[in-house]
């Protein structure tokens, strides 16, 4: 099972925010989310190099060498018996920067969630209708994701996707109405003001507010109302706006503040008013 899915899109955004190419990957995902049935059929006619499969495997081997958060956590647990608390304190900074998921989770998300219309059937009985389209889009996302870690190997993988996008003139889809104003406000905010949101989120956590519990409720509300793709587009647009202001790797508490506000905006009509107020408070302190 993949770590990433539409239901837990905040996890993907959390990880992309810690990746140097997170904003660019978010752009690719937004374009992939906007693909129509006609687009997939057209992508299925794109010519790909016979060496693509071998090159893809080589890229994945390089990227898998980077330890994720769960690996770091397991390593800290292994040595904690010998060195005690120092094992955990030493791991904190690494855990803060490490991804929960990895490149394989990202590619599964693209192939089976984002491009679910490229398949027919259900579950283990599903059959792919547009195999070339799946490869072209997934390789395009992979090339962007690997632009720092395996650039020379990955760049040719992304060319069919880039060329197809340019030929079709496909840009970035617009922000959905429920969050358009919020995303625009983040994009127009200064780094100094956004830092206030991170500080406020930290203060709220210190006084007992649970960000994970709040996001759990919001994620379920998104799922039960069938707004998974809307929420995914909203979060990816917000991440692009945030990275555009702060540059690479914005502060974790700032990312958490933006993620919470966006999810609250997506399901504001079905969440308890006090929950919405708490989830949006850190960002609103910065934006007001």
pLDDT(22) > 80: yes
- What are the pLDDT digits (tens) for 191-222? 999 999 999 999 999 999 999 999 999 999 99
Distance CA 167, CA 180 (A): 28
The confidence band for 121, taking pLDDT boundaries of 50, 70 and 90, is confident
Distance CA 220, CA 223 (A): 5
What is the CA angle 142-145-148, rounded to 5?
A: 125
Query: Per this entry, what is the length of the chain?
Result: 288
User: Of residues 22 and 85, which shows the higher confidence score?
Assistant: 22
Q: Give the mean model confidence (pLDDT) for residues 59-69.
A: 75
Evaluate whether 260 touches 280 at the Cβ level (below 8 Å). yes
Joined tokens for residue 286: 């910065």
Q: What is the pTM of this model?
A: 0.88
Joined tokens for residue 70: 């769960």
Give residue for tokens 């996008």.
165
Q: In 3-state terms, what secondary structure has residue 251?
A: coil
The confidence band for 67, taking pLDDT boundaries of 50, 70 and 90, is low
Please report, for residues 82, 96, 133, 168, the alpha-carbon distance to residue 213 in angstroms, rounded to integers and kept in the order given. Answer: 33, 19, 38, 43
């Amino acid at each position: 099972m993949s770590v990433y899915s539409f239901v837990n899109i905040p996890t993907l955004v959390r990880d992309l925010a810690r990746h140097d190419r997170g904003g660019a990957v978010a752009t690719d995902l937004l374009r992939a989310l906007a693909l129509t049935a006609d687009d997939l059929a057209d992508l299925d006619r794109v010519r790909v190099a016979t060496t693509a499969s071998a090159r893809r495997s080589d890229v994945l081997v390089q990227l898998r060498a980077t330890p994720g958060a769960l690996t770091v956590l397991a390593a800290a647990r292994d040595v904690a018996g010998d060195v005690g608390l120092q094992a955990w304190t030493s791991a904190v900074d690494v855990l803060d920067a490490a991804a929960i998921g990895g490149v394989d989770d990202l590619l599964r998300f693209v192939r089976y969630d984002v491009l679910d219309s490229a398949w027919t059937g259900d579950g283990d009985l599903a059959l792919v209708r547009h195999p070339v389209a799946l490869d072209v889009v997934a390789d395009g996302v992979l090339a962007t994701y690997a632009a720092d870690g395996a650039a020379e190997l990955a760049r040719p993988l992304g060319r069919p996707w880039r060329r197809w996008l340019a030929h079709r003139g496909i840009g970035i889809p617009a922000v959905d109405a429920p969050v358009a104003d919020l995303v625009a406000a983040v994009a127009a905010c200064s780094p100094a003001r956004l830092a206030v949101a991170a500080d406020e989120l930290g203060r709220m956590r210190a006084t007992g507010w649970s960000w994970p519990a709040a996001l759990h409720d919001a994620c379920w509300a998104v799922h039960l109302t069938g707004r998974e793709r809307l929420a995914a587009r909203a979060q990816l647009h917000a991440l692009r706006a945030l990275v555009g202001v702060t540059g690479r790797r914005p502060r974790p508490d700032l990312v958490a503040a933006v993620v919470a506000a966006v999810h609250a905006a997506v399901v504001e009509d079905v969440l308890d008013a006090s929950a919405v107020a708490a989830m949006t408070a850190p960002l609103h302190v910065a934006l007001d």
